Structure 1
Amino acid sequence: MAIILITGGARSGKSLRAENRARSFPGRPVYVATAEALDTEMAERIARHRARRGNDWIERETPLDLAQALIDTDGGGARLVDCLTLWLSNLLHAGLAWSKQTDGLVETLARQRSPVILVTNEVGLGIVPDNALARTFRDAAGLINQQIAGVADEVEFIVSGLPMKLK
């Protein structure tokens, strides 16, 4: 079993790297999608991701209950969670306690038998946002990333499509 966290900036190549890592494990990979197609642009992004992956994936759409999705899909191929920052956004918009949800995710990761690859955005490298919600999001994303990195067996930072091993 392996817990792998892949982080980096927007459009850095995180998802492609994570897909390749997930395919390297035995069994049919499971794509755990946290995104929701709430507008045309997001629907197009999702369609591009699906087309790139092809049909060899089992797909699981999970905007909120990520821990349960991992429990339900354990015991088969590697699971790719794409992505933690969209999951956080969903939690904040739903008014759910992101820190409690993250604690549950960490506890669930510790009990997994099949590999889990988690994608997340590094959002703390830019300027301080100018509004409270954006600052809350940035701070929460940083704390979630630290928690998951702490329990991960491997952590990679992707820059311009190139992985840098951090752990």
Structure 2
Amino acid sequence: MTVTLVTGPVRSGKSRHAEDLLSAHPEVVYLATGPQPGTDPEWTARVAEHRARRPSGWTTVESLDIAAVIRRAEQPVLVDCLGTWVTRLVDDVGWDDLAAAGLALAAARDALLSALATAAVPVVLVTNEVGWGVVPPTASGRFFADELGRLNAAVSGRADAVHLVVAGRVLDLTSAPVVPEHPRPRTLRA
């Protein structure tokens, strides 16, 4: 089945584009990976905005086990988003033990990639591009940016289509050259 990665900066239209990609399907599993609305009114408003846009035939699932949801799915799956997923996975381990968090993320990433390789339904994953700014000044900030960047590259490698959404515009990166995992050896000239 088709796996599509939709990436871009915050408030660029990524989620709306991902929803549009699956709009022809009357039933979709909408996998929300972010924290539940609570005492943060801005976050609560964001979640409410997303919920209001979803068609009535779409089922919302709130889970961190993306791989299990994809494996069980009988309808297309929209995952929104990998950035909040990474944050919550690290929250569960603790930001004070980044080595343990890295191991947990590696296991979760491997499970996700395995599930994507065998997906029986279309899957659209939304993620954030966080590496376009300055290098974060804290170890946890650098860890998050590095881990999400690695995850995005790995999922892109498994995706059939990759879309970059910037300023409300969609760029299809599907046929763009892929960065090799290891640099090619240089030939020295005499």
Report what 1:162 is aligned to.
Answer: 169
Give the structure 2 partner of residue 18 of structure 1. Answer: 18
* 87, 99, 114: which one aligns with 1:107: 114
Match of 2:121, SS state, is coil
Aligned twin of 2:8:
8
Total equivalences in the alignment: 163
The whole-number CA distance in structure 2 between the counterparts of 1:56 and 1:50 is 12
1:155 Cα offset (Å): 0.1
Question: Unpaired segments of 5 or more residues in structure 2?
Answer: 94-100, 175-190
For 1:55 and 1:42, locate their aligned partners in 2 and report how far apart those are by CA, in whole Å.
22
5+ unaligned residues in a row in structure 1: which ranges? Answer: none
Q: For residues 89 and 47 of structure 1, do their structure 2 counterparts lie closer, same or farther at Cα, with a shift above 3 Å needed?
A: same
Measure how far apart 1:54 and its partner are: 3.6
**What corresponds to 1:56 in structure 2?**
57
Of 70, 89, 92, which aligns to 2:90? 92
Q: How far does the alpha carbon of each residue in 1:77-109 deviate from its partner, in whole angstroms, 9 at most, with x for none?
A: x11000001000001111151111001100011
The match for 1:80 is: 78
Query: Matches of residues 116-127 of structure 1 in structure 2 within 5 Å?
Result: 116-127=123-134
After TM superposition, give the deviation of residue 71 of structure 1 in Å: 1.8
Instruction: Please give the per-residue CA displacement for 1:29-84, whole angstroms capped at 9, x wherever unaligned.
Output: 1110001124332222111111122423111111x211112122x222x1100000
| Separation of aligned partners in 1, 2:71 and 2:42 | 31
Structure number having the greater strand percentage: 1
2:29 — aligned with what? 30
Give the 3-state SS of the residue equivalent to 1:23 in structure 2: coil
Is 2:134 aligned against 1:134?
no
Are 1:153 and 2:160 matched, yes or no? yes
Query: Is 1:43 the equivalent of 2:44?
Result: yes
SS for the counterpart of 2:162 is strand
Distance in 2, matches of 1:156 and 1:139, equals 20
Runs of 4+ off more than 3 Å: none
Between 1:26-35 and 1:116-125, the stretch displaced more is: 26-35
User: TM-score, normalized by length of structure 1?
Assistant: 0.93
- Matched to 1:93, the amino acid is D
Q: Secondary structure at the match of 1:124?
A: coil
Larger radius of gyration: 2
Offset, 1:162: 0.9
Q: Counterpart of 1:59 in structure 2: which amino acid?
A: T
RMSD: 1.2
